[in-house]
Amino acid sequence: SPSFGEERAGAPQHFPYPVIFIHGLTGSSDTWSWFYDYALNQGWSFGGQLAFNLNSDDDLGYSNIYNGNPIDFADFNNGIMAGDFYIVNFNTGLDGTAYGSNYNTATQSNQAAIAKQGLAIRNAVTHVLQATGKEKVILLGHSMGGLAARQYLQNDNFWQQDGSHHVAKLITSGTPHGGSNSTGTFLFDAFLDVDERSDAVRDLHRSYFYSFDEGVF
């Protein structure tokens, strides 16, 4: 595969660094549909969808970052080319099918542990650097997507093979940086499909109900 600095064939690039958009809890690439339409109308180029299944072991009771987690389908879904922006999709089935927000995969891939999300962001950054030939990317995370980006940035063992994270800027929107104890039970339709026992909810908590211990993230 190409190394950094070797651009793949694709659309013209208009910005110094490409932007990777990351959705939040129970979300999908549909989170950015409004921006996608706007960006294309502005003449910005879309480099592709970065699809990952984060629960390939199909175990909803234990968070295991091994056994093939995450499965990287980025090149499976039409390939990744040079572009101005890219969209991550954790709502992806075991066969590589990337779904929208009106479907929940049986593996609860978009409710996986933050550690798995961080590993996926590492792969996403690798793909985009290789596709664009750029030295850095910009990460933009909505809600829990901001925590996924931080998981990557704040753990140097997740970084690229050259020992650098290659992120020029991190932008977060509506991200609970201090954690949150309010999820599906309390926010009604905002998180209608959330599993209160999912790895993502466990990691999101500021403190835990029974032990009163502080949240791990």
Q: CA nearest 68: which of 54, 81, 82?
A: 54
User: Which pLDDT band, with edges at 50, 70 and 90, does 78 fall under?
Assistant: low
pLDDT digits (tens, 9 = 90+) for 116-173: 999 999 999 999 999 999 999 999 999 999 999 999 999 999 999 999 999 999 999 9
User: Which pLDDT band, with edges at 50, 70 and 90, does 68 fall under?
Assistant: low
Q: Is residue 6's pLDDT more than 80?
A: no
From CA 135, how far away is CA 133, in angstroms rounded?
7
pLDDT computed for residue 4 by the predictor: 45
* Residue, of 88 and 187, whose pLDDT is higher: 88
From CA 125, how far away is CA 50, in angstroms rounded?
10
User: Which pLDDT band, with edges at 50, 70 and 90, does 65 fall under?
Assistant: low
Residue 6 dihedral angles phi and psi, to the nearest 5°: -120, 100
pLDDT digits (tens, 9 = 90+) for 175-215: 988 777 765 454 444 455 788 778 888 888 777 766 767 76
Structure tokens at 185: 């039970």
What is the value of pTM for the model shown? 0.88
Q: Report in angstroms the alpha-carbon separations of 59 from 107, 195, 199, 217.
A: 7, 14, 11, 21
Structure tokens at 169: 């800027």
Strand bridging mode 46-53 / 85-89: parallel
**Helix and strand counts by DSSP (H, E) for the chain:** 5, 6
Strand bridging mode 19-22 / 137-142: parallel
